[in-house]
Amino acid sequence: MGKRKRLKSRERATPRLSSDASHSVEFFMRPDDGAVPSLETFAAWPNKAARKLLPVLAAVAETPPKKFAGGGKWEAMHGTCTGMYEVRARIDGVHYRLFCVLDVLAENVDRPLLTVIDADSKPNGEVFAESRYVELSELRDEYFRPDENGRPVRSLAPASLVASYIART
């Protein structure tokens, strides 16, 4: 049996998009049941949370994300959630969070993706339980899970569904 040839990055089947480019905002949809965790949570929040978070999300995507300087509104996560980011807003004593991943390996797109995988809120001064961070890391891993051929598969909410949720805000 011959030696396997190691592919150089420019020869990979899935080319890497530039993380220096502006990103497209997408929302993760669970492939097994069609649930969109972030939008389902987001829809239950007060309208002023959406009015604060959506412009930040758009600004982060356009900047691009790794260059965004938003004074605590866009932060990298650590520990169990390394590789994830959060868009933050505090309104009336409640912290609202959109949990995101950056995806430079997505296929059939013209720019990298900033994908919102979940959302949550907590009262000021409280912390999320470690089990919540484990859930988030599992969603991150589910989003990036390759198909049986090792190709990236991204399950994203249809634009019409996203628009219907956002129209409610």
pLDDT bucket at 1, cuts 50 / 70 / 90? very low
> Using omega within 30 degrees of 0 as the cis cutoff, is the peptide bond preceding 152 cis?
no
Q: Nearest-CA neighbor of 28 among 168, 155, 166, 138?
A: 155
| Alpha helices per DSSP H over the chain | 37-44, 47-62, 130-144, 159-167
**Global pTM?**
0.88
Residue 168 pLDDT > 80:
no
* C-alpha span between 150 and 28 (Å, rounded): 19
* C-alpha span between 109 and 135 (Å, rounded): 28
* The pLDDT of residue 32: 87
124-138 tens-digit pLDDT: 999 999 999 999 999
pLDDT bucket at 107, cuts 50 / 70 / 90? confident
Mean pLDDT of 95-120: 95
Q: How far is CA 115 from the centre of its chain?
A: 3
Q: How confident is the prediction for the chain on average, in pLDDT?
A: 89
* The pLDDT of residue 6: 46
